[in-house]
Amino acid sequence: MIQINNLNFSYNSKKPLFKNLNLSLKAGHIYGLLGKNGAGKSTLLKNIAGLAFPQSGKCLIDGTESSKRLVSTLQNLYFIAEEVYVPALTPGQFLERTAGFYPAFSITDFYSYLKILDIDPDLLMTKMSYGQQKKMIIAFGLATNTGVLILDEPTNGLDIPSKVQFRKLIASVLNEERCIIISTHQVRDLDSLIDTVLILEDHRIVIENSIDELTEKLFFGVFKDLTGMNVLYEEDTLMGKYAIVENTAGKFGKMDLELLFNAATTNSSKLLNVLKPATLHE
């Protein structure tokens, strides 16, 4: 559904953000995009959405470059920015003016999402709190029923019950035709919601694996003794070494996204070799 080929992008020519970045995303999945501050998560999402343009290389949505900003592409895409902008309208008025751009928009869904997220459809959005504004835009974005849904740090500013509702809503809107991409630092908010992990580091995507693949190849746990194991990453804890080891026993443990992130963004060559042995020979 989304194909990125050899993407090069920089805001400042001395500091390239992406160097020949490649990525392929399919419908029917929820992708979690992780990366350190300044790694370029939002910029990558903007390139996908046609809000920033590649210096070279291509971002394709269903085979069409998103930078062309064709109506056929944009009407099937919704981007929820980290900082939402809201005009001085009520959600109902916003709906009347904006929903028409999205042919698959569902008015019923919109009002039901507003209700679930506890947003008053008749209140001026400029009078709402930041969290409420964000929830309003989330409700709108989900109701567009676009094939591509991009959410940049969606849980920032949401209170605890809203995060629960957000997870339920995202779980309910995924279908075979939809590709959902969520960037986040709040891994605990989303770790059971995403099925594929993308980690942006060192100007490229270093990890692009389904959680099934990760738990098949890796084992996360606390070990008193690591001898004889292929240790890919370790941290010291009071209980022993908290480590990622190569999964040779065929156990299916639970993945720890935080530990994986730390491993992928520090000295990660061992980890990456286990995850992508094929690329070594290219």
- Answer yes or no whether residue 24 interacts with another protein by CB under 8 A: no
Site for another protein in 89-148 (CB under 8 A): none
Q: Nearer Cβ to another protein, position 126 or 248?
A: 248
Q: How far apart are CA 38 and CA 151, in angstroms?
A: 17
- Answer yes or no whether residue 158 interacts with another protein by CB under 8 A: no
Site for another protein in 138-157 (CB under 8 A): none
Q: How far apart are CA 31 and CA 38, in angstroms?
A: 19
- Answer yes or no whether residue 30 interacts with another protein by CB under 8 A: yes
- Answer yes or no whether residue 172 interacts with another protein by CB under 8 A: yes
Q: Nearer Cβ to another protein, position 52 or 194?
A: 194
Other beta carbons less than 10 A from residue 97's beta carbon = 10
Distances (CA, A) of 108 to 80, 172, 257: 20, 15, 35
When binding is defined by CB under 8 A, the residue of 38, 87, 103, 253 that contacts another protein is 253
Site string for another protein, 174-193 (x = CB under 8 A): x-----------------xx
Q: Exposed, middle or buried: residue 117 (CB in 10 Å: 0-12, 13-18, 19+)?
A: buried
Which window, 7-15, 45-53, 90-98, 168-176, contacts another protein (CB under 8 A)?
Answer: 168-176
Q: Nearer Cβ to another protein, position 120 or 234?
A: 234
- Answer yes or no whether residue 263 interacts with another protein by CB under 8 A: no
Which window, 43-51, 84-92, 132-140, 166-174, contacts another protein (CB under 8 A)?
Answer: 166-174
Site for another protein in 204-243 (CB under 8 A): 211-212, 215, 221
Looking at the DSSP assignment, which residues form a beta bridge with residue 217?
none
Q: Nearer Cβ to another protein, position 126 or 192?
A: 192
| Residues near another protein (CB under 8 A) | 28-30, 164, 167-168, 171-172, 174, 192-195, 211-212, 215, 221, 252-256
